């Protein structure tokens, strides 16, 4: 799962939200040195990732990508699933979307002292450029995936993966809806 989904599945506190996002920035961090609520969020992030990676609908989604791009299918699905979560927001929660996103940004801004420096930079950029708002548009998902492709340190064919996503959008979306319902049932995000 990508950033928005991890934050959606967190408790509505600064510490939990920082911890649930920290999973993407935790390399070299000693979990035992973290405040309890931040560590609990990090453990939740890791449990969500394990559950996601093993889910049959997610595994089936990966097979839809061409051989040359399948290696990056997990990354593409992580970002795409944030788009689908936004697209189907009202099916998962009664909480209005924009106020929820604003509350995430506020908590991430307040949580800066709890974050390692690379996470601080990324979350500042995330807030400044309203990543979660931009994820509502599939074209922006394609642009985000191309930026990720540009940061990969070896030659790859990840760039342009949005074209394969567009071809399989209906199937990917249907599998996401089944998967995310299961995920939500197992991780009980707050309403």
Q: Which of 10-24, 99-113, 119-133, 140-154 has the lowest mean pLDDT?
A: 140-154
Structure confidence at residue 147 (pLDDT): 82
> Could you tell me the CA-to-CA distances from 16 to 19, 30, 189 in Å, in that order?
5, 17, 12
Q: Cβ of 90: how many Cβ atoms within 10 Å? A: 10
Q: Cβ of 116: how many Cβ atoms within 10 Å? A: 14
Structure confidence at residue 191 (pLDDT): 45
Nearest CA-CA partner of 94 in 163, 161, 182, 189:
189
Can you tell me which residue has the tokens 């599939």?
138
Q: Kindly report whether the global pTM for this prediction surpasses the value 0.85.
A: yes
pLDDT in tens, 122-139: 999 999 999 999 999 999
> Could you tell me how many residues make up the chain?
191
Crossing angle for the helix pair 117-128 and 14-22, to the nearest 10 degrees: 110
CA gap 131, 69 in Å, rounded = 24
Structure confidence at residue 43 (pLDDT): 94
């Amino acid at each position: 799962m990508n950033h928005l989904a991890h934050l959606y599945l967190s408790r509505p506190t600064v510490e939990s939200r920082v911890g649930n996002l920290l999973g993407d920035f935790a390399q070299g961090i000693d979990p035992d040195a973290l405040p309890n609520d931040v560590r609990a969020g990090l453990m939740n992030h890791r449990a969500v990732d394990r559950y996601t990676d093993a889910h049959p609908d997610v595994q089936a989604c990966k097979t839809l990508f061409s051989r040359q791009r399948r290696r990056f299918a997990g990354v593409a699905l992580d970002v795409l699933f944030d788009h689908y979560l936004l697209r189907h927001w009202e099916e998962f929660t009664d909480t209005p979307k924009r106020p929820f996103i604003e509350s995430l940004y506020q908590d991430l801004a307040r949580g800066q002292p709890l974050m390692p420096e690379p996470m601080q930079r990324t979350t500042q950029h995330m807030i400044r450029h309203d990543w979660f708002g931009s994820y509502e548009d599939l074209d922006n998902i394609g642009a985000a995936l191309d930026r990720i492709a540009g940061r990969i340190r070896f030659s790859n064919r990840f760039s342009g993966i949005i074209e394969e996503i567009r071809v399989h959008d209906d199937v990917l979306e249907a599998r996401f809806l089944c998967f995310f319902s299961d995920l939500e049932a197992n991780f009980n995000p707050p309403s």
